[in-house]
Amino acid sequence: MQIVRALLTRLITTLITLFGAAIIVFVVIRVVPGNPIAMMLPPGASEADIDRLKALYGLDKGIFEQFVIWISNVVQGDFGTSITLRQPVYDLVIGRLPATLELSVMALLIAVVIGGAAALTATLYRGSKVEGGIDVAGGIALSLPDFLWGLALILLFGVLWPLFHISGRISPSLGFEFSTNFYLFEALARFRFDVVLDLMGHMLMPALALAIPLAAIILQLLKQSLKECMHDDYITLARTKGYAESSIILRDALPNAILPTLTLIGVQFTFLIGGTVIIERLFSYEGLGNMAIDAVINRDLPLIQGIVLIFALLFTMVNLVVDMAYAALNPRLRHA
């Protein structure tokens, strides 16, 4: 019963957060100096046209009524029409979302692999120069944000030693027709490994830039938890049984040490997704973030608003899933 109540409370706070986020977006968008209607119409539009459009968007009503109209549209997925692209914002946002999701998940995987491997290696060689080296590398990785790593990668692997693509999502010369916007997923499912390779070649650099700071965070926490585990009795027992140190770390210490790291990864995943905004721009990757910056430069307010709302929805959902996964994984909460 208690777990149901905890779940319900969590759902309600999520809804409050989402509603609050919607209010913030509404307030920020409506304090725009300048008339949003004037931006939608060509110069020289008649008074009647302006009034008609105002009535259409409910801008002739009070601010509270405007909010009610706006939020009821938003809840139904009606984010308005993009001013520059002249298409429904909902379609544009949904069309770009898969690219950003694929990039984020790829970056997350890379971060887990690099961070996890580094933590395990450092634990295996603890007290030696190897651990010292990994610590220094982790410290630097943590100190610099994804934006700087992206630029460094462009210089290293795009210019000095051109191994990977540093711009776009796919080579247009491939001429491959996708039926969904999950390019990587679709190419994998259709066994087109040439396309997969091309997609990966484009994704690797931006994904790595996003992954490096997170990998460093995973490294630090997992290493610390592993180190604490290594003094436990069951480790000594495994040692007296004669198992190799590496297999003790993997089989005995890791399962006991991993829970805090898993929670942290969940929390940090939203920060990683947030980083896609500038990283997509840097690598001209056709995702949501890149579209958001174009929208801001063109002052396309309906589009910006739609993208910000989608990100807010994504973030609160990720946080909700992480909390629930934590409750499911943690025995103390499961039996509460």
Nearer to other proteins, 120 or 275 (CB): 275
CA distances from 154 to 45, 127, 147, 166, 201 (A): 47, 35, 11, 6, 13
Q: At what angle do helices 89-124 and 129-143 cross, to 10 degrees?
A: 160
Applying CB under 8 A, the span of 83-91, 186-194, 215-223, 301-309 interacting with other proteins comes to: 301-309
Q: At what angle do helices 193-229 and 129-143 cross, to 10 degrees?
A: 120
278 binds other proteins per the rule CB under 8 A: yes
Nearer to other proteins, 1 or 297 (CB): 297
CB atoms within 10 A of CB 333: 14
CA distances from 321 to 78, 221, 288 (A): 25, 21, 22
Of 275, 264, 261, residue with least CA distance to 103 = 275
Figure out which of the listed residues 108, 112, 203, 277 binds other proteins, where binding follows CB under 8 A: 277
Nearest distance, CB of residue 52 and other proteins, angstroms: 26
Nearer to other proteins, 17 or 330 (CB): 17
Query: Residue 44 region, left (φ>0) first, then alpha (ψ -120 to 50), else beta?
Result: left
Applying CB under 8 A, the span of 2-10, 25-33, 51-59, 239-247 interacting with other proteins comes to: 25-33
**How far apart, in whole angstroms, are the C-alpha atoms of residue 207 and residue 232?**
37
151 binds other proteins per the rule CB under 8 A: yes
Nearer to other proteins, 6 or 196 (CB): 6
Figure out which of the listed residues 40, 316, 326, 330 binds other proteins, where binding follows CB under 8 A: 316
Task: Give the binding site for other proteins (CB under 8 A).
Answer: 13, 16-18, 20-21, 24, 28-29, 31-33, 139-140, 142-145, 147-148, 151-152, 154-155, 158-159, 270, 273-278, 281-282, 289, 292-293, 296-297, 299, 301, 304, 307-308, 311-312, 315-316, 319
